[in-house]
Structure 1
Amino acid sequence: MQTTPTAAPSASASTVARRIAAVSWKPVLFAVLLWLSAAAGEIPVPGTPVPITLQTFVVMLAGLMLTWRQAGSALALYIAAGAAGLPVFAGGASTMALVGPSAGFILGFLPGAVAIALLRGKADTSSFSAAALTAGRYMLAAIIGGVVVVYAFGITVQSALTGAPALAVTLASMGFIAGDAVKAVVAALAAAGLSKLGR
């Protein structure tokens, strides 16, 4: 007697679809948050073509709150959207921003977020001292990934594209670096606090 296929393949397909949705909504959310942080406005800085936005703050939060794969996916999706022509970068820019002075910073977001996620360690908020250590680890990870890695890419590419010496670009970026260090502290405290709420 020959049996006919039942609804099992359909149930299996819906289970796979649910799993994909479960792991992909966070990267999509952070890609949208990156666009919103760019669309919210920018502050021009004299002496440099790169404006201040909240994007590095969102990159830090992505690295602190997502797995490294999810953080990388969020940034890859965001960069791909801009490369495809969507106006998701600062000032409503899209594809041309990836060949302009901000290109290295935008491209540096991806390895920066992945580095943060890999370096942050596991959240432990079981006591005040454990929560303080978690916040400290988060802050160090955010500074390394969100400042050191992103600026290494940004300064290198901006220097290559503009012909300005790397030291001059670094000095012009010092205001951004100080601001992003403050963002790292705020992101670390926020992520540590949110991880405590999630317990």
Structure 2
Amino acid sequence: MSTAALTRPGTVLADLLPAATASRARVRDAALVAGGAVLTGLAAQIALPVPGSPVPVTGQTFAALLVGTALGARRGLLSLALYALAGMAGMPWFADGTSGFASPTFGYIVGMLLASGLVGALARRGGDRGALRTAATMAAGTAVIYALGVPYLALSTGMSLGKAVAVGLVPFLFGDALKAALAMGALPTAWKLAGRRD
């Protein structure tokens, strides 16, 4: 792939993996979708409790956003849908090895699914090519996760929306800033390395 092709919008990192035929491209895409789901499930097991909150700090949100950005909207959405459906069916790979949809944190999982599609669409428009663009892409995805996760937390626990914001959003802002900083370094660097391989 030429350097020009690497830098033009419309390409995501996963598109750089070669597939000589349409059938090989389908196999590649299926493997990427499954791999993204597994990565998210493994990252969800990195979980630290937050005092006073039913929502732990996990690697799950970071993995979901990276999967969406690297795979693009369609594959990212399918990957997180696979993750969510398998977890709902009993696969114990939600945070802390849980499964099902009765958890007060299930809204965050639905948010991650939609966020992966959003950040994938933004990545196709060049949203992962520079540090500031990557930060904006991650912020948009994170906002979607909270927009679904916090109200679901309030509804499922009976707490007020203000309380849900206090325990389901505020304690995580610093960590989200760190995750955005990691992405700001990792994604543009991956594009630079891909360009040097050409």
Which bin holds the TM-score, normalised by the shorter protein? 0.7 to 0.9
Structure 1 unmatched runs, 5+:
1-14, 125-130
SS at match of 1:187: helix
Q: What is aligned with 1:10?
A: none
Q: What is aligned with 2:105?
A: 102
Distance 2:28 2:118 in 1: 23
Query: 1:71-90 alignment to 2 at 5 Å?
Result: 71-90=76-95
Query: 1:1-199 alignment to 2 at 5 Å?
Result: 17-39=23-45, 41-95=46-100, 98-120=101-123, 121-122=125-126, 134-145=130-141, 147-172=142-167, 173-199=169-195
Measured at CA, do residues 123 and 139 of structure 1 come closer, stay the same or move farther in structure 2, by a change above 3 Å? closer
Query: What is the identity percentage for the equivalent residue pairs of Structure 1 and Structure 2?
Result: 35
Q: Deviations over 1:92-129 (max 9, x none)?
A: 1111xx222111001110111111122232279xxxxx
Structure 2 unmatched runs, 5+:
1-20
Distance 1:178 1:123 in 2: 22
Mark the structure with the bigger radius of gyration.
1
Give 1:16 deviation, angstroms.
5.1
Give 1:177 deviation, angstroms.
2.4
- CA-atom RMSD in angstroms: 1.7
Q: Deviations over 1:15-51 (max 9, x none)?
A: 5542310222212111111111122x31100111111
Q: Residues 64 and 188 of structure 1 are in contact (CA less than 8 Å); yes or no, is this contact kept in structure 2? A: no
Q: Residues 60 and 116 of structure 1 are in contact (CA less than 8 Å); yes or no, is this contact kept in structure 2? A: yes
Measured at CA, do residues 45 and 123 of structure 1 come closer, stay the same or move farther in structure 2, by a change above 3 Å? closer
SS at match of 1:198: helix
Matched to 1:171, the amino acid is A
Q: Deviations over 1:57-77 (max 9, x none)?
A: 111211221110011011001
Q: How many residues align structurally?
A: 173
The TM-score, its normalising length taken from structure 2, stands at 0.81
